[in-house]
Chain A
Amino acid sequence: DTEVTQTPKHLVMGMTNKKSLKCEQHMGHRAMYWYKQKAKKPPELMFVYSYEKLSINESVPSRFSPECPNSSLLNLHLHALQPEDSALYLCASSQPRESYEQYFGPGTRLTVT
């Protein structure tokens, strides 16, 4: 199984809502990532978890809160977002070693109203 799944596919939320994005992989990968991608832009790294521990936080605002409950699951909790946070949120996984390839999920298209 070389698939990374993400739910939901689409999400519309108000600025006062609390929602969560979910990501799952069963490839035995021990590194998982959240990226944000705006239209016609490259994916922008947000967080990296390695062996279920947060290893990289790219100065992401606290209204985004990641969580890695176990080696297969990655969540992104959203609270008090702004309209400019509307984007495609991509999850990826890989082996946390020097040479690796990232497998991306299909993404969650988030719209903040």
Chain B
Amino acid sequence: GQQVMQIPQYQHVQEGEDFTTYCNSSTTLSNIQWYKQRPGGHPVFLIQLVKSGEVKKQKRLTFQFGEAKKNSSLHITATQTTDVGTYFCAGHNDMRFGAGTRLTVKP
């Protein structure tokens, strides 16, 4: 079945540095979703990408969907302490989540 691989597993940055997490699927995805889970919290929907090559921005967050619809990335510019949490991608094909990237930000 579909597998969504996500890297890196952990990322520790200094506040103000950029951050990127990547997801790769073994199969073509109909769409991909991104979620953020704060420590002790539950996943919160961030965005959904549907079209090949799609790029969407939410303030400091930039989401991309690859041309082949097999990979995606989330980039955060100038991280803040409020960005702390685990970021998950999820392929809609079977609602399988990537392993997640845990982001910590040092003030």
Contacts and interface: CB of A to CB of B under 8 A. Distances in A.
A105 B37 CA distance: 12
A90 B43 contact: yes
Contacts, number: 45
A48 interface: yes
- Report whether over half of chain B's contact residues are helix, strand or loop; otherwise say mixed: loop
Name, among B33, B41, B45, the residue most crowded by chain A CB atoms within 10 Å (CB to CB). B45
A43 B88 CA distance: 9
A42 B88 contact: yes
Nearest to B4: A42
B88 A99 contact: no
Given A99-B31, A99-B50, A104 B95 contact: no
Contact of A105 (B35, B42, B100): B42
Interface in A60-113: 90, 92, 98-107
A45 B45 contact: no
Interface residues of B, number: 21
Contacts of B43: 43, 90, 92, 102, 104
Contacts of A100: 48, 92
A33 interface: yes
Contact of A33 (B50, B95, B99): B95
B99 A102 contact: no
Given A43-B43, A105-B42, 9 more contacts: A41-B100, A42-B88, A42-B99, A43-B97, A44-B97, A90-B42, A98-B30, A99-B92, A101-B48
Interface of B: 30-31, 33, 35, 41-45, 48, 50, 88, 92, 94-100, 102
20 contacts: A33-B95, A40-B102, A41-B100, A42-B88, A42-B98, A42-B99, A43-B88, A43-B97, A45-B94, A45-B95, A45-B96, A98-B31, A99-B31, A100-B48, A100-B92, A102-B45, A102-B95, A104-B42, A106-B41, A106-B42
Interface of A: 33, 40-45, 48, 90, 92, 98-107
